[in-house]
């Protein structure tokens, strides 16, 4: 990486931190963002995502342990069964992850933070024969979306179902959900969060059932959402990518800006 490229990455990462983390907005109905002591948290009900999204860049070793303890006390007092500290690889101090671990947080699989200019993404949707896309609009579509998610990822889709139903009912303008259907069977699904007041649209999901992988469905879902982001005037697409999707996204021109690791705290464990 040359100096010019490195400087561009640093500039883009600074924009992401400022708009998406320090300036975080609630990611759905019924949740709110709290700011205090330099930290930014999202809090809601037990079924919402609750956790720390931003920590001050000048957090040092002398203050880190007390800051972690304060966040634990704050969130535990709300009675959550779990909450998360979303740690990025450039967060400080450098050993923050080890300090979270020592405080009882459990790290989950890291993901790669990827960003791409919307203007650089193809928006022509090319699908394999027999597959069609449709926007998720009602409860029946959400059920199909949850089924595709469960088959693609091998995880329970009930939380996704609740979240998507709530967004469609209460906050549909800044949210897009899409299904890939082979006849009557859902073979893939994906979501996009349009973060009002920022230049970013976030791509989420995109899981494809095993029999349909490697046939362009995932890329078609990206192109479909990129087209909507372009129409709405967003500058960047952002993804927290697993190792399965990272190579595909990088081939499409997404730039890796670092990694993000969920550190989860469960008070009863």
Q: Are residues 43 and 66 in the same domain?
A: yes
CATH of the domain at 163: 3.40.630.30
Instruction: Report yes or no: 265 and 75 within 8 Å, Cβ to Cβ.
Output: yes
Above 80 in pLDDT, residue 204? yes
How large is the average pLDDT for residues 230-238? 97
Checking if the pLDDT of 45 tops 90, the result is no
172 and 75 co-located in one domain: no
Q: In terms of residue numbers, what domain contains 136? A: 122-252
Indicate if the pLDDT at residue 127 is higher than 90: yes
Residues 104 and 159 occupy one common structural domain: no
Find all residues with CB under 8 Å of 151, minimum gap 6, and list them.
186, 209, 210
Contacts of 93 (CB under 8 A, 6+ apart): 59, 60, 61, 64, 99
pLDDT band, very low/low/confident/very high, at 130 (cuts 50, 70, 90): very high
Residue predicted with more confidence, 267 or 107: 107
**Are residue 102 and residue 137 in the same domain, yes or no?**
no
| C-beta separation of 167 from 173 below 8 A | no
In order of 26, 139, 179, 192, 215, the CA distances from 136 in angstroms are 22, 8, 6, 12, 22
Tell me: do 72 and 128 sit in the same domain: no
Kindly report the number of other CB atoms within 10 A of residue 118's CB atom.
22
pTM summary value: 0.92
Q: Among 267, 269, 258, which Cα is nearest to 89's?
A: 258
Give tens-digit pLDDT for 148-170: 999 999 999 998 999 899 899 98
What is the tally of structural domains in the chain?
2
Q: Report whether pLDDT(115) > 90.
A: yes
Same structural domain, 189 and 93: no
> What's the rounded mean pLDDT across residues 183-207?
95
**Bigger pLDDT: 51 vs 7:** 51
Residues 161 and 218 in one domain: yes
222: which 2 tokens?
């990206």
157 secondary structure, DSSP code: -
**Percent of all residues in the chain with a pLDDT value above 70, rounded to a whole number:** 98
Could you tell me if 67 and 167 lie in one domain?
Answer: no
- State whether 179 and 80 are in the same domain: no
């Amino acid at each position: 990486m040359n100096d010019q490229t490195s400087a561009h990455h640093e500039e883009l990462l600074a924009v992401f931190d400022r708009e998406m983390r320090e300036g975080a907005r609630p990611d759905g109905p019924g949740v709110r963002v709290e700011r205090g002591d330099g930290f930014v948290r999202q809090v809601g009900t037990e079924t919402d995502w609750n956790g720390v999204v931003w920590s001050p860049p000048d957090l040092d070793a002398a203050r880190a342990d007390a800051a972690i303890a304060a966040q634990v006390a704050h969130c535990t007092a709300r009675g959550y069964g779990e909450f998360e500290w979303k740690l990025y690889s450039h967060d400080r101090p450098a050993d923050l992850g080890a300090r979270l671990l020592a405080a009882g947080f459990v790290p989950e699989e890291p993901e790669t933070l990827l960003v791409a200019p919307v203007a650089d993404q193809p928006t022509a949707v090319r699908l394999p024969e027999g597959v069609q896309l449709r926007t998720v609009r009602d409860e029946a579509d959400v059920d199909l979306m949850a089924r595709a998610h469960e088959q693609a990822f091998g995880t329970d889709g009930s939380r996704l179902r609740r979240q998507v139903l709530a967004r469609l009912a209460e906050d549909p303008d800044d949210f897009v959900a899409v299904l890939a259907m082979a006849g009557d069977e859902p073979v893939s699904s994906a979501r996009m969060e349009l973060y009002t007041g920022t230049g970013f649209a976030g791509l989420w999901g995109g899981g494809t059932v095993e029999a349909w992988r490697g046939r362009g469905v995932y890329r078609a879902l990206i192109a479909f959402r990129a087209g909507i982001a372009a129409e709405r005037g967003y500058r960047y697409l952002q993804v927290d990518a697993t190792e399965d999707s990272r190579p595909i996204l990088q081939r499409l021109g997404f730039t890796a800006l670092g990694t993000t690791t969920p550190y989860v705290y469960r008070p009863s464990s």
